[in-house]
Amino acid sequence: MIRIQSLEKHYQKLHVLKSINLSVEPSKITAIVGPNSAGKSTLIKSILGLVFPDRGDISINGERVNGRWDYRRKIGYMPQLARFPENLTLKELLALVRDLRHHPDDTDMELFEVFNLGKEWDKPIRTLSGGTRQKVSAVIAFLFRPSILILDEPTAGLDPIASSNLKDKILKERDLGKTFILTSHIMSELEELSEHIVFLLEGKIFFEGLTDELVRYTGERNLERAIATLMKGRPVWTELQKS
């Protein structure tokens, strides 16, 4: 379990995270949603140790991670826009990543095969399309069989077949006990994948619960319309806070 308690973050005068309290349940897919500048990226980067909060605690499986780095071995991260050394070939890039992890024997290359990346093996990264780079990023996120995966807009730039294959992989690994945190602007995708949803607005959590509960509370017919209702600031807030 990932537990976040009283997390605060300022960027000078900008108060980005405001007393965030959140528990991410193990072996489930949790979606973090909200408008731009809601604090989603800062929250994710705080979990990854890429941003240091001003105050508050983050723990994974009961161990505080504040200021440590070794816990990140448990996490696979797929950023919205991955940047790789442009001069390396795909073969060299994967060799570099393996070298950084001291060449573990047990790696997960399933997505490499599913995405048919073998044909790109000797091509420099700079020559790969945006969609192919996204596939490479997904392969690296799953490569070392992490118990936690944080995927930021994972299907952005993927064609329908690759998107479906990645979603199948996510659900398969969830069923094997992996814990996921997802962000996406495609609400139908989150409705398909996630059991739990966290809605952030102006650095605060305004809803945390089951996806179906949020749809029911807002009186809308699907997640996309439920999120739109929240973003419009309708008087559903009072009822949500009571729940």
Span 42-63, pLDDT tens digits: 999 999 999 999 999 999 988 8
pLDDT digits (tens, 9 = 90+) for 106-147: 899 999 999 999 999 999 999 999 999 999 999 999 999 999
pLDDT of amino acid 233? 66
Beta-sheet strands, E only, within 51-194: 55-60, 63-64, 75-78, 148-152, 179-183
Structural domains of the chain sorted by starting position, each given as residue range(s) with its CATH number in brackets: 2-242 (3.40.50.300)
Given a contact cutoff of 8 angstroms between Cβ atoms, the answer to whether 177 and 188 are in contact is no
**Beta carbons of 54 and 8 less than 8 angstroms apart:** yes
Amino acid 104: pLDDT: 85
Q: What is the dihedral of CA 162, 90, 85, 36, to 10 degrees?
A: 10
DSSP state of 185: S
Between 65 and 169, the more confident residue is 169
Average pLDDT, the chain: 91
174: phi then psi, degrees, rounded to nearest 5: -60, -45
3-state percent breakdown (helix, strand, coil) of the chain, nearest 5 = 40, 25, 35
Residue 160, CA atoms < 13 Å, CB-side half-sphere:
0
